[in-house]
Amino acid sequence: MKKLMMIASVALMVMTACSKKEKAFDATGTFEATEVTISAKATGELKSFDVTEGQTIEGGTQVGRIDTYQLVLKKQQLETQRGQLAATKRQLSSNRSATGSQQLDLNKQLSSIQQQIANAQRERQRYSELVKDGAVPRKQLDDIDNQIKVLNRQLEATRDQIRSANASLAEQGKGIGAQMDGIDAQVAGIDAQQRQLDDQIANADIVAHYKGTVLEKYVEQGEFVSTGKPLLKMADVDNMFIRAYVTSAQLQNIKVGQQCKVFADYGDGKKKEYSGTITWISSRSEFTPKTILTDDERADLVYAVKIAIKNDGYVKIGMYGEVKF
């Protein structure tokens, strides 16, 4: 009997000691990483796609390309149309210059006639004096008067030609101007289409804009893809975080930026310690996830927190972990 009582006492002491022992962690959760799904930004055959699962890709690396043959042909066609419009515009400009040259010739002709009239009038003045003196016959003065009349008629006819040419030039100028404005509008439309094609051709390049490790590969080279189709999933496994849950009672002891200890749980009591930093605390409570243990397992409402760690290559996505604040 004494032996049984002694065993019971020892068992009670062990149970009491275990109940008073401090827990090795304050919260648990699973490790996560920022995942990015890269999708196709163009439609066509996947001409190249040099990606393998588990591969680490540097940011800005081109990992594949979608066929752009039809887009390149369309761009060449637009360039040909633009060249034709440019040639038409040069011809219109040449026609306008030719009309202006004709008008310049008429103005020169007008100036020449005016100069001839001025010279003839001076000759008439001189011959008029000679006729008065009887030095020359009257007929020579009459011939000069007739010459002046002829020149005046030529002068008026030239002025009429200039007025007509100006009116015609104005009409032609309006027509040519309207045609050139139309050509400019067409060229602007072609330029906009070419910019769209340039963007579409650039989108055919499949680029990983951020450094990460390929988690999943959804397509293979040679497949036909459409815009928006997922091609691969990447994750930044160098900078991971554990998503854990705490009770409202624990909130008073933690804050964003606080340092803490994070343990990766490999099972069978094997753990590895990392230095963590609290980067986010949820401002909204939620019901305790069934897979999560908290400091107070009786609590119905908990708050999610994220603790960032620098991965050394041993922590994997989905692995369980513990947090000690």
Token pair of 200 as six digits: 């579409």
- Could you tell me if 87 and 159 lie in one domain? yes
Rounded average pLDDT per 10-residue block, the chain, 325 residues: 40 42 80 95 94 93 94 92 87 69 68 81 78 74 81 81 71 73 89 93 94 95 95 95 92 93 90 95 79 53 93 93 94
Q: How far apart (Å, rounded) are the C-alpha atoms in residues 279 and 243? A: 10
pLDDT of res. 5 = 43
**DSSP-derived 3-state class of residue 293:** coil
Please give the residue range of the domain that contains residue 279.
24-67+213-324
User: What is the number of domains present in the chain?
Assistant: 2
DSSP H or E run through 26? none
- Could you tell me if 308 and 196 lie in one domain? no
- Could you tell me if 168 and 227 lie in one domain? no
- Could you tell me if 120 and 239 lie in one domain? no
CB–CB of 247/241 below 8 Å?
no
- For the chain, state the CA radius of gyration: 48
**4 lies in some domain:** no
- Could you tell me if 98 and 190 lie in one domain? yes
Kindly report the CATH number assigned to the domain that includes residue 38: 2.40.30.170
**8 lies in some domain:** no
CB–CB of 238/310 below 8 Å?
yes
**173 lies in some domain:** yes
Residue 45, beta-bridge partner list:
224
| 202, 229, 263 - which closes a domain | 202
pTM above 0.85, yes or no: no
Q: How far apart (Å, rounded) are the C-alpha atoms in residues 150 and 39? A: 87
- Could you tell me if 55 and 177 lie in one domain? no
Kindly report the CATH number assigned to the domain that includes residue 104: 1.10.287
Q: How far apart (Å, rounded) are the C-alpha atoms in residues 59 and 56? A: 10
